[in-house]
Structure 1
Amino acid sequence: MKIFRSESFVDYKTYTFNYATYCIKEKKSELPEIYDKGFLPYSNNTDLKVETYYLARSLRIELSDYKETSENRRVDRKIQEINPSFEVIPVKDFNLKDPVFLSYCFDFANKRFSEPISMNRLEYIFSAKSVSHVFRFRADGKPVGYVIAIIENDTLHYWFAFFDLDNPKYSLGKWMMFSVIRWAFENDLSYVYLGTCYGEKSLYKVRDFKGLSYFDGNQWVKNVKSLKLKCRADGNFVVDTFKQDTDLFLENLNV
């Protein structure tokens, strides 16, 4: 892998000089290490020819600490009314270019994603060589959702999910995430990565699952209380966290 940094925002008054950190994947076998270092796939520039990853506050479940919660069980009980099931399909056996499938994902994305997504970007995401499996979900025998996953060795990244919005009472999105995590646990994987965790809207991931830790830019931290505080404070930072409380920051690094 190749790690590089790009200059970002500057605030000379507080001596804050930001650098965005990226990683280029050179071999598929590097994926577990790339995720362990806090990187996630970057898909915002569809002209990029190499698989690039960005460093962010990301979230993962350490499956050695995983336990089902009462909320997981509640969602699972409720959805049994519509006879749910799922299958795990290698991408070589699934047509990611099928127009009906693309239209389904495109329609969902533009109803639920915070920013509109183009069909070009959707096709770019699905063409990533690291995408390895599709989880296809059914209810009463009909397809109701898909998860695009990256699986390598003991690592699974729950990258994008698309699902029917017609029956919100069944919490289909929650059940799909829970099902993938449980599948990973039952298949002896070590980690499930759930993407970024910024802002209060991301806290549903924190509330619903056990065994969580987040990447703080230096290390994986299991203190969920501090993560909630960070999410609620997002958008209000004046300077970086090192300058906000230098002693505490260094203490957390064991310096």
Structure 2
Amino acid sequence: MKLLFSESGPDYSRYLYPYVVWAVPEPGETPADLYERGFLPASPNLDRFCLCRHVRVDLTRFRPSSENRRVLRKGEGVDCALIPRGDFDYTAERRQRWHAFARERFGEGVMPFERLDGLMHGKVITHLLHFTHREDGRDLGTALLYVEPPRMAHYYFAFYDLAWFRQSLGLHMMTRAVVSFAEAGFRHLYLGTCYSRRALYKTQFEGLEFFNGNCWSPSLEELKHLIARQERPEDGRTHLLVENDYLQAFWEGRLDRLTDASPFRLHGGPGGSARA
């Protein structure tokens, strides 16, 4: 992959010179290679990826907990099927219903029709995990997925009947996805970003890992520390790796442990191209 660094919001007084890190895949690489290195898609055509804090489940280590089983029981009577995108009927009714759900759950303008259509016609969605009522066959929910067997799947966006919200249908759908891909022999299921306490529902699976900017970490306490750190006043912040309490708490005070765990190496000499 090649890397691009897009400048964002410097604060010279605190020596903060932030860049958004983009990755552009090269011939011979697949999206799974970029997911593995901490990137998520930044375009529906999978030609640009963005480094971010996101979570995945190592499905080789996943075992359903008592809470996972309770969530699954609440969805008794719900069937699900994994459908290739080309075989899925993206009707005007479903399009309208998903848009209304996104407006209600994510906010106005987050998922306009243009973005929804771009996802459904882009390379980033290969399959849909479709949930229906067992008795009458009506639609209950649909999760949009990128699937690259057997290495990984990405549980991208989910839309569901809000009348089933109290039955935890959204969490049931995600849990079914984790169980289904584990049973199918996949290695990882990616669940998206985690930048707030509201997103911690994604962490209730054994085998959880999150990308901390340098490597995949299994520490839920580390993830919670980073979320709590965001809630501190801006005046009290600097960049993470110069904060000794973080390194002491999670990396034995040793920056070299993070360096050794990092998947990033630059190859190429002076005047030549550099690749990660």
Alignment TM-score, normalising by the size of structure 1: 0.89
DSSP 3-state at the match of 1:253: helix
Question: How many residue pairs get matched?
Answer: 247
Partner deviation per Cα, 1:188-237 (whole Å, 9 max, x = no partner)? 0000000001111111112x211101101110001111111212332435
Q: Give, in whole Å, the separation in 1 of the partners of 2:226 and 2:214.
A: 15
Q: Give, in whole Å, the separation in 2 of the partners of 1:164 and 1:197.
A: 24
CA shift in 2, pair 1:211/1:50, >3 Å: closer
Q: Give, in whole Å, the separation in 2 of the partners of 1:171 and 1:27.
A: 42
**Matching of residues 121-136 of structure 1 within 5 Å:** 121-136=115-130
Contact map agreement 1:29 1:152 (CA 8 A) in 2: no
CA shift in 2, pair 1:179/1:29, >3 Å: farther
Counterpart position of 1:53: 49
**Matching of residues 198-237 of structure 1 within 5 Å:** 198-206=195-203, 208-236=204-232
Residue 39 of structure 1: CA displacement?
0.8
Contact map agreement 1:241 1:249 (CA 8 A) in 2: no
Counterpart position of 2:81: 87
Letter in 2 for 1:162: F
DSSP 3-state at the match of 2:186: coil
Of 159, 177, 181, 1:180 maps to 177
**Matching of residues 24-39 of structure 1 within 5 Å:** 24-25=24-25, 30-39=30-39
Residue 52 of structure 1: CA displacement?
1.9
Letter in 2 for 1:2: K
Q: Give, in whole Å, the separation in 2 of the partners of 1:50 and 1:169.
A: 35
Counterpart position of 2:95: 102
Contact map agreement 1:149 1:157 (CA 8 A) in 2: yes
Residue 51 of structure 1: CA displacement?
2.9
- Coordinate RMSD, CA, aligned: 2.1
Contact map agreement 1:88 1:133 (CA 8 A) in 2: yes
Does residue 1:120 correspond to 2:114, yes or no?
yes
Letter in 2 for 1:10: P
CA shift in 2, pair 1:181/1:25, >3 Å: same
Contact map agreement 1:55 1:217 (CA 8 A) in 2: yes
CA shift in 2, pair 1:28/1:194, >3 Å: farther
Higher mean Cα deviation, 148-157 or 19-28?
19-28
Partner deviation per Cα, 1:58-101 (whole Å, 9 max, x = no partner)? 10000111111111111111221xx11111101111133x2112
* Unaligned segments of structure 1, at least 5 residues: none
DSSP 3-state at the match of 1:135: strand
Alignment TM-score, normalising by the size of structure 2: 0.83
**Matching of residues 138-149 of structure 1 within 5 Å:** 138-139=132-133, 140=135, 141-149=137-145
Q: Which one has the largest radius of gyration?
A: 2
Counterpart position of 1:40: 40
* Unaligned segments of structure 2, at least 5 residues: 261-276
Higher mean Cα deviation, 17-26 or 167-176?
17-26
CA shift in 2, pair 1:112/1:158, >3 Å: same
